Amino acid sequence: MKESRFTFLLGLLLLVACGSNSTPKTTTPSGRYSADSLMLLASADLDAAYRRIGEGELGGELSAHEAALMNANITYLFTENYTLAKDHCRNAIDALGENDDTRRLAALHLLGTIAETDKDFNTCIKACSEGKAIAHRNKLPLEEHKFDYIAGKCMFDLDLNDEGIALMQSSIDKARPLVKTESDLGNLVYFVNNLINCYLAVGDMQKALDASETLENLLGNMETKYPDDKPYCDSYCYHLYAERAVAKVSLGQTGAAQADFDRALAYDFAYSVDGCMLQADYYAAKGQVDSVASMLARCPYQATDTVQRLYWRRLSRIEQAYRVAGDTAMASLYRHRIDTLSQLIERREQQERTAVNAAQYETQVHKLALDNLTGKTKMIQVLLGFLALAVLVAILALYRGSKRKVAKAAEEMRLKSQSMEEEMTKLQKQVRLIAKDKAQDPDETRKGKSLTALVEGQKLYLNKDISRALIAEMMGCSHQTLTKMLNDIHPGLSFPDYIKGLRIAHALDLIKEHPDLTVQQIADQSGFYSISSFERSFKSITGKTPREYLKS
């Protein structure tokens, strides 16, 4: 992890030291108390670096904010003590003046990044929420998109896959045209690389390959413009080739995958902890259990609390390797461990209200977008008002025509504002549509009928292990073809939401036919792994929890 954090901080430190590139730069320490000098000292003697920062603060060369922020940076970079690094970040924020938005943004960015690395979801979401609000208030769209990316990655880590990937992809697409500086380009490289890993994690190998082309273009641009950043680019070249190899071997392109993997091993980063974990991904996709175990052995798991998603990911690599190798007994054993761990993680996150905080952030994103639209609407209305006044002075007939245009424009803006609110409940409406259409026989295309006949006719949605990859394999088609079939039947509906809708419809039938069943039995017979997952999906569609529905 240290090598990955170091390359990312090369870009992030410039942001922290100078603030947003859209605002005036602040004075930064130089000489023995500069960021470069302290980082170099910390790499050789961490305690000496801490002492020098303390001396600088006592002597007045470093402000309380600068000292706390530098302590946060070197603690994050050179230790695994994320809690201490977050405490230093909070101290840096507390030391700022009330209106010092520039440096507050940079500190919140660092705090959110550390919290996301530590999987401290609540701290990450809160930091991103505050940072996005400040960036929005100061009209800094690029900074808003950076916080959206970090929050999106946090949502993905919370198993809100669709919401997280959508927010990450959207923030990258919006940020890319705004990138102007070296640090911003470095951040974008880091963001796209993480997006590729998310696509690999959900099994969308084609999108992972597509995103790898974006990463390759960004790295080429960075190498051309900033040749001094070669160590940074080399570390992500390793990621690029290793991740491509994982995607290609999963798609059956074994020759091309091996070529990419061999290119990846030529980089020194291959021998880092992150490098070994990526190699474990590759060997897992090939079903080489011993190689996976060898790579994981180089990355000892030191956390005492194993009820977390990082440990879940390690188990998933081993389960995948056994499954690809055809050892169903061992694969089933690890799948049982993963399912049990998933329930424990979900229960803990529910107690900590992490999913609730993530949903609140998503609501904030829509609200600020709506604020932008409202502001534009007011400007248009003012301009149209002046136009109407000029037309009234000129001639009555032209005034009447302009008035109709004003009314039409106002109605269009009202509909746009309304659509922003409706978008927030789009998922519920789409899933309800699936539940209602389950018993009907719509006029579908021939391929759509084969999909519904397979999934609904054979009730495959009741299988807890059902996946898009499995259905595509059974139908003998690609992921893209399967997605198109589903889109022909239910436009805009994702495969996971399609399955959830069918399962909830089945649950409603069970409640009507067998009112004496318990919630646990209904969830289990409807294809859900856990009661909490069932209750969340059930309430999103019916507006009630299963127990409330049973009582009514």
Chain mean pLDDT for the chain: 78
Predicted local distance difference test score (pLDDT) of residue 410: 62
Task: Tell me how many domains the chain contains.
Answer: 2
Phi, psi of 395 (to 5 degrees): -165, 140
Q: Do 502 and 456 meet the contact criterion of CB atoms below 8 Å apart?
A: yes
Q: What is the band of 285 on the pLDDT scale with cuts at 50, 70, 90?
A: confident
Predicted local distance difference test score (pLDDT) of residue 484: 86
Asked if the model's pLDDT at residue 222 lies above 80, the reply is yes
Among 372, 402, 424, the domain-final residue is 424
Tell me which H or E stretch contains 187.
helix 182-202
Torsion-angle region of 326 (φ positive above 0: left; ψ -120 to 50: alpha; else: beta): left
Strand ranges inside 229-377, DSSP E:
none
Among 400, 424, 448, the domain-final residue is 424
Asked if the model's pLDDT at residue 264 lies above 50, the reply is yes
Q: What is the mean pLDDT of residues 7-31?
A: 45
Asked if the model's pLDDT at residue 312 lies above 70, the reply is no
Distances (CA, A) of 356 to 141, 160, 347, 348, 350: 25, 11, 13, 13, 8
**Shared domain check, 543 and 460:** yes
Predicted local distance difference test score (pLDDT) of residue 394: 77
Predicted local distance difference test score (pLDDT) of residue 26: 39
Predicted local distance difference test score (pLDDT) of residue 427: 42
Instruction: Kindly state whether residue 529 falls inside one of the protein's structural domains.
Output: yes
Predicted local distance difference test score (pLDDT) of residue 304: 44
**Shared domain check, 443 and 392:** no
**Shared domain check, 384 and 459:** no
Most confident of the following: 115-119, 143-147, 356-360: 143-147
Of 426 and 69, the one with more pLDDT? 69
Instruction: Kindly state whether residue 6 falls inside one of the protein's structural domains.
Output: no
Q: What is the mean pLDDT of residues 449-473?
A: 82
**Shared domain check, 526 and 445:** yes
Condensed to tens digits (0 to 9), the pLDDT of residues 509-530 reads 888 888 888 888 888 888 888 8
**Shared domain check, 534 and 461:** yes
**Shared domain check, 546 and 440:** yes
> DSSP class of residue 24?
P
**Shared domain check, 446 and 530:** yes
**Shared domain check, 481 and 499:** yes
Condensed to tens digits (0 to 9), the pLDDT of residues 172-215 reads 999 999 998 888 898 899 899 989 988 988 889 899 999 999 99
Domain range enclosing 370: 354-424
Condensed to tens digits (0 to 9), the pLDDT of residues 368-416 reads 555 555 555 556 666 766 776 777 777 777 767 667 776 776 676 566 5
Q: What is the band of 537 on the pLDDT scale with cuts at 50, 70, 90?
A: confident
Instruction: Kindly state whether residue 433 falls inside one of the protein's structural domains.
Output: yes
Predicted local distance difference test score (pLDDT) of residue 22: 33
pTM above 0.95, yes or no: no
Rounded Cα–Cα distance for residues 8 and 191 (Å): 10
Query: Tokens 């920062």 appear where?
Result: 53
Instruction: Kindly state whether residue 287 falls inside one of the protein's structural domains.
Output: no
**Shared domain check, 474 and 408:** no
Instruction: Kindly state whether residue 380 falls inside one of the protein's structural domains.
Output: yes
Instruction: Kindly state whether residue 138 falls inside one of the protein's structural domains.
Output: no
- Between 209-213, 342-346, 401-405, 501-505, the lowest mean confidence (pLDDT) is in 342-346
**Shared domain check, 445 and 385:** no
Distances (CA, A) of 508 to 123, 327, 516, 540, 542: 38, 37, 13, 14, 10
Predicted local distance difference test score (pLDDT) of residue 154: 82
Of 362 and 291, the one with more pLDDT? 291
Asked if the model's pLDDT at residue 16 lies above 70, the reply is no
CATH assignment of the domain containing 464: 1.10.10.60
DSSP string, 423-487: HTTHHHHHHHHHHHHTT------HHHHHHHIIIIITTGGG-TT--HHHHHHHHT--HHHHHHHHH
**Shared domain check, 436 and 376:** no
Asked if the model's pLDDT at residue 71 lies above 90, the reply is yes
Instruction: Kindly state whether residue 503 falls inside one of the protein's structural domains.
Output: yes
**Shared domain check, 479 and 373:** no
- Chain-centroid distance of CA 333 in Å reads 29
Q: Do 525 and 537 meet the contact criterion of CB atoms below 8 Å apart?
A: no
Condensed to tens digits (0 to 9), the pLDDT of residues 410-450 reads 676 566 545 444 443 444 444 444 444 444 444 434 445 57
Tell me which H or E stretch contains 219.
helix 205-225
Q: What is the mean pLDDT of residues 290-314?
A: 66
Q: What is the band of 12 on the pLDDT scale with cuts at 50, 70, 90?
A: very low
Instruction: Kindly state whether residue 317 falls inside one of the protein's structural domains.
Output: no
Of 10 and 339, the one with more pLDDT? 339
Among 367, 393, 424, the domain-final residue is 424
Q: Do 206 and 480 meet the contact criterion of CB atoms below 8 Å apart?
A: yes
Of 469 and 418, the one with more pLDDT? 469
